[in-house]
Structure 1
Amino acid sequence: MDNHRPHPLVIVKLGDTFEALRAQRGDFEHWIADGLDTHALPLLVVDPRRGDALPDPAEVSGAVVTGSHAMVSHREPWSETTAAWLAQLVARDTPVLGICYGHQLLAHALGGEAGDHPQGAEVGTVTVTLDDAAATDQLLHGLPAQFPAHAVHWQSALRLPEGAVRLAGNDHEPVHAFRAGAHAWGVQFHPEFDADVMRGYIDQLAGDLARAGTDPAALREHVVPTDAAAGLLGRFARIVEAHHGV
């Protein structure tokens, strides 16, 4: 056994994109892996929904938790198991990045609360505004004070865990990013989405959006590249690599 081989950076797959998008572009784990762009760490994809065992927390260099079309508040067994595992990682100061569902699950796992957003869904390219605390945050420092990001969510982190630091929000969503401990982050927006994926989501949700009084065509027109948001995946990978000296 090679004791010097780094432990994997785990992508915890808790959802699937729409079939039409998956056929053309792949799925969440592929987009995340592309964004991480790490050659120093092996990547391991596990899907607890399908019975995959989550690895021993002592044998993980870091974890990225994907989005999902499920809801954290439904407390699915696979979701609760993943939440308990995330709490163990945070207790070990293992770097964690939760995206959308993963962001909400991280808040829930550490004693916060996730549930339906009182103002309903946020879909499309939105403007995220950094809090002052982001200026000294290892993941978000140096980003523009405001930047565009792609979002698709009906639920939110309604209450952050004790001691967590809010890092970003906007008029609709008060918590678009937070940090718990030194190396665990949640982002409500999707750094792994590009403009084509965002437009694909709007197209797939067009009927629901129209019934809710939102014009899908207008949302589509406002989709723009989100380079600052997308760069967070690579930043997170560099944090994991540095944390483990690789």
Structure 2
Amino acid sequence: MFEAAIFYYSYYSLLGGTDVKAAYIHSFITTNFLIFCIWPSHFASDGANVLWTRSLLDALADFDSSATANWFVIDRRHGNGVVAKFESNAMFVFHTVNAYEVASKQDRVDIVCDVMQYRNMDVLEKFYYENMISTASGAGNPINPAFKKPHHYVYGICDRGKSCFLDGLVKVDMETRTSKLWSKKSHTPGEPIFVGNPEKAGEDDGAVLSVVLDGESGRSYLLVLDAKTWVEVGRAEAPGAVGLGFHGVHVKL
């Protein structure tokens, strides 16, 4: 079971809930709605296994590919609770990308939810290694924060199976469904961070930063890509290895 609530310091307002089994998920939020998609990443024994295993990963039940992903749309403005329910094919998602509302031709509101989707939870088993340099893992799919809803470009890390870990940085054009790739043999990139050009207004006018581990030298460097061309324009070398999983957001001070 899950419930959605908004907290205001010492009290909260209950918006809605449902009786689906507890699961590992990320949620969406738009101007007027909260959206939950409960994919088949349920916790065994109704979540009690978390206490026994002391691990969210080990507490998950086996993935059921015959099950459905259940979507719940909750009104966050007028207290109407769950206003819509949908089903889709089974999937697994680490992170959501974005969500926004668009006007519908049927005098309704359509909600666009963008995710990085996996067919199952097999990706979780790829994080087992005999010798871990760092226990932090890299993942992410940021956008230009100045172009929230809707967005045109998504930046992320990709795994093409050409390394023991993540092996490339990708820029995805959500309108043309095309992509650009940056990759270098034996180099493992971290989550991309977009930095906008203050003198230009285009969504991909700026730079993308990523902390990359050079597997040959054992040292990391801060990679700078031109966000528009996806070509390297510079890098700053580090004296040693930076733990995988470093991520955040660029803020102008």
**TM-score, length-scaled by structure 2:** 0.26
Q: Using CA pairs under 8 Å that are at least 6 residues apart, name the structure with larger relative contact order, 1 or 2.
A: 1
- Larger Cα-atom Rg: 2
Structure 1 or 2: more strand by fraction? 2
Give TM-score, length-normalised by structure 1. 0.26
Larger proportion of helix: 1
